Amino acid sequence: MALSPINRMFMTSAWLESILYGINCVLFGTCIYILFVRKRKAHWITLVSCIFHISIATAHNILSLICSLQAFTNPAIISASNGSSLYLLRHTTLFFTSGTLHLLNVFGLNLLLIWRLYVVWQSYWVLIVMLVLEAAQIATSITGWVLLFQSSPVFSHRAHDFVDAGLSFDLVVAIAVTSGISYRLWRAGQRVSILTGGRNAYKAAIYTIIESGAIYTSSIIVVSGLLVSGSLAGAVAANVNVQIATLTPLLLVVRLGLGLTHGESKQPEILSAAGPFFVRPVEDNITEEISTRTTDSDVVDSSSRPTRESIQSCHDSCVKKNVKVS
């Protein structure tokens, strides 16, 4: 018996979600290794966010498995005509809980991104604007989610409008945060480029932040496109989006913590740009860091000169001895 389109889409999304969840488990273990074993400097919010997102991802993956078992193995469901498809589209307790976990994961990720933006900019105006956008996103998403469970078709139509508005605000927040952090780091690198030979000291971090942000932004665009087009795949794709929302912060910590950034130079110490803290504006930090490195290199070079001369003298004496013996 051929599977209905709804069943096929749900099974595909559950399969993709399981794969992404396995990747998230590996990334979470790597984050714990970076923060505790390698003892990279990071703010406590970074650890809390990692635990929060992996917990949401785990719970949602378990609920997807339970929903699959109910839809495809429960005799009372599969005995009815198109019973599995009707069950997957029904607003059950599992459906409500899974959607709530998805909203919590998105809210947590956006608040984490806004905090990182504030850490880099150190501006209350930037923080206020982003929090207003996030408040609009939370309000529209929750309103749409509540209206979705109303039986009236009018409420159902309004629910989709609010959901679309929530996704739009979510997209604006993601793009604004990624662009804001990247621009701030680029401007800081430009101001001190004369000390680095014309090279932007934060170039690797900029590329890494843009690449990580593009993953989640792309998922929002895909889900939004499916929902706007009226496809049922949009609701199913939200299951995968939960894991992508978890993958984004974990991947950023792993890449910066292990120095797996874009470019040839590895800079594991730049983990502080991923979520940790800046006690002063980023331009002051990077200027002080470059000046410290320059001073240290000068000391090393000056202290290494006698050693090189002694090595050269030893080499000359050994050559003379060999000549006399021969």
The residues spanned by each domain of the chain are 5-80+92-260
Within 164-300, strands assigned E span none
Spatial CA neighbour of 64 closest among 104, 22, 27, 13? 13
Residue 41 φ/ψ, nearest 5 degrees: -70, 120
- pTM here is 0.75
Convert the pLDDT of each residue in 153-206 to its tens digit: 544 677 888 888 999 999 999 999 999 998 888 888 888 777 666 676 777 778
Report the alpha-carbon distance of residue 322 to residue 326 in Å, rounded: 6
Report the alpha-carbon distance of residue 219 to residue 239 in Å, rounded: 11
Convert the pLDDT of each residue in 267-308 to its tens digit: 444 444 444 433 344 444 444 443 444 444 343 343 334 444
Distances (CA, A) of 167 to 19, 100, 209, 234, 300: 24, 15, 21, 12, 54
Question: Computed over its alpha carbons, how large is the radius of gyration of the chain?
Answer: 27
Q: What is the SS3 assignment for 217-236?
A: HHHHHHHHHHHHCCCCHHHH
Spatial CA neighbour of 61 closest among 15, 8, 5, 9? 15
pLDDT at residue 300, rounded to an integer: 36
Distances (CA, A) of 133 to 98, 117, 126, 166: 24, 14, 11, 10
Does CATH place domain 5-80+92-260 in 1.20.120?
no
